[in-house]
Structure 1
Amino acid sequence: MSRGIFINIVRFVLLVLVQVLVFNRLNFFGYINPMVYIMFLYWYPIKENRALFIGLSFLLGISVDLFSDTMAIHTAATTTIAYLRPFIMRFVFGINYEFQSFKLSNTTKAQQFTFLALLILVHHTVFFSLEIFSIANLLLIVKKVLSIGAASLILCLLFSSLFSVNKE
């Protein structure tokens, strides 16, 4: 088994466990539960098989759903951002991401932040739209997307800085 596959398996398992055992139990201000398992979709290698990536995203979402009892809402949200990831990357990184030598670690911090923020924004919009499922509660959806998205973004940035390899 190659080192990259092993690292992705470990990330997958650890992020699901951390999400289910720690972050699903937190309730900041009574309703904010950060979703850090999105980091798997952020860290997944760019030039890997896209069908495999979408399948792994489905497994990631269904794993969190099984432990959280959320009726496949996480699955729908993770599968959606897995499908939209190339479009988001093209928007953030431009044509550069299509080259074989492209690596996320070689991009600017602003691009990495924007990419992660857009992944979280799309994920949370799909997730809370399906969870609430009512246009009448549009303000509640926006409130949850922005507040929980901000908490998720802050924690994901902390995880990213903790577990990234310094180039220096």
Structure 2
Amino acid sequence: MNSTLRLIFLFVFFLLLQVLILNNILFLGYVNPYIYIAFIFLYPMKENRFSVLLVAFLLGICIDAFTNSGGIHTFATVLIAYIRLFFFKTIFKKTESDYLLFSLRHESFDKVFNYVTILTLIHHFILFSLINFSFYNFYNVIINTLLSSVFTLVLYFLGSFIFRKKLT
């Protein structure tokens, strides 16, 4: 499948999965998975920084439009799209020449786990901080961040395991 068509399909898939199914899940009053951020993890590193920021903005604004959340998803998604390069270089120890051949499924599980977990925690912390927008609810921010991050990570790694193509 063409790379651009694959990215469009993933964009629409994660958007619809989030707004039609996962936004309707609220387990124990705290846990709501935000799996749409997996699109940012899967977006190719070889693309320039502007394109990932633009796509992250579009993804976030679409989620905000469906959830009527006033831009908080957009801010959190653009932020992790912006900082992903730093964590990519730090965790995977790759240089710019390695961007063309990089794929998460070719990396060791511990590095992928660290990369995805850090970006997920940052996204969720920013998201729930903006939702609560008060230090009086800091405990709720931490609980929401941790529980939703665990649920999101379980869904992400379960999905990546199920949909992984067999490498020959």
- Closer, same or farther in 2 for the Cα pair 1:97/1:109, shift >3 Å? farther
The 5-angstrom pairing of residues 35-46 of structure 1 reads: 35-46=34-45
Aligned partners of 1:97 and 1:29: how far apart in 2? 43
- Of 53-62 and 97-106, the range deviating more from structure 2: 97-106
What displacement does 1:166 show?
2.2
Partner of 1:140: 140
On the 8 A contact 1:16/1:37 being kept in 2, the answer is: yes
CA RMSD for the aligned pairs?
1.5
Partner of 1:109: 109
Query: Helix, strand or coil for the counterpart of 1:167?
Result: coil
The 5-angstrom pairing of residues 147-158 of structure 1 reads: 147-158=147-158
What displacement does 1:161 show?
1.2
On the 8 A contact 1:73/1:131 being kept in 2, the answer is: yes
What displacement does 1:105 show?
2.2
The 5-angstrom pairing of residues 5-154 of structure 1 reads: 5-96=4-95, 99=98, 100-154=100-154
What displacement does 1:30 show?
2.4
TM-score in terms of structure 1 length: 0.93
CA deviations 1:57-98 (Å, max 9, x no partner) are 000000011001111110000000000010111121123565
Name the aligned partner's letter for residue 139 of structure 2: L
Query: Helix, strand or coil for the counterpart of 1:29?
Result: coil
Structure 1 residues without counterparts, runs of 5 or longer = none
Aligned-pair identity in percent equals 35
Aligned partners of 2:50 and 2:150: how far apart in 1? 30
Aligned partners of 1:65 and 1:153: how far apart in 2? 21
- Closer, same or farther in 2 for the Cα pair 1:79/1:108, shift >3 Å? same
Structure 2 residues without counterparts, runs of 5 or longer = none
CA deviations 1:4-55 (Å, max 9, x no partner) are 0000000000110010000000111123110110110011111112101100
TM-score in terms of structure 2 length: 0.93
On the 8 A contact 2:30/2:143 being kept in 1, the answer is: no
Partner of 1:165: 165
On the 8 A contact 1:89/1:97 being kept in 2, the answer is: no
On the 8 A contact 2:91/2:111 being kept in 1, the answer is: yes
Aligned partners of 2:94 and 2:30: how far apart in 1? 39
Query: Helix, strand or coil for the counterpart of 2:70?
Result: coil
Name the aligned partner's letter for residue 121 of structure 1: L
Aligned partners of 1:153 and 1:98: how far apart in 2? 29
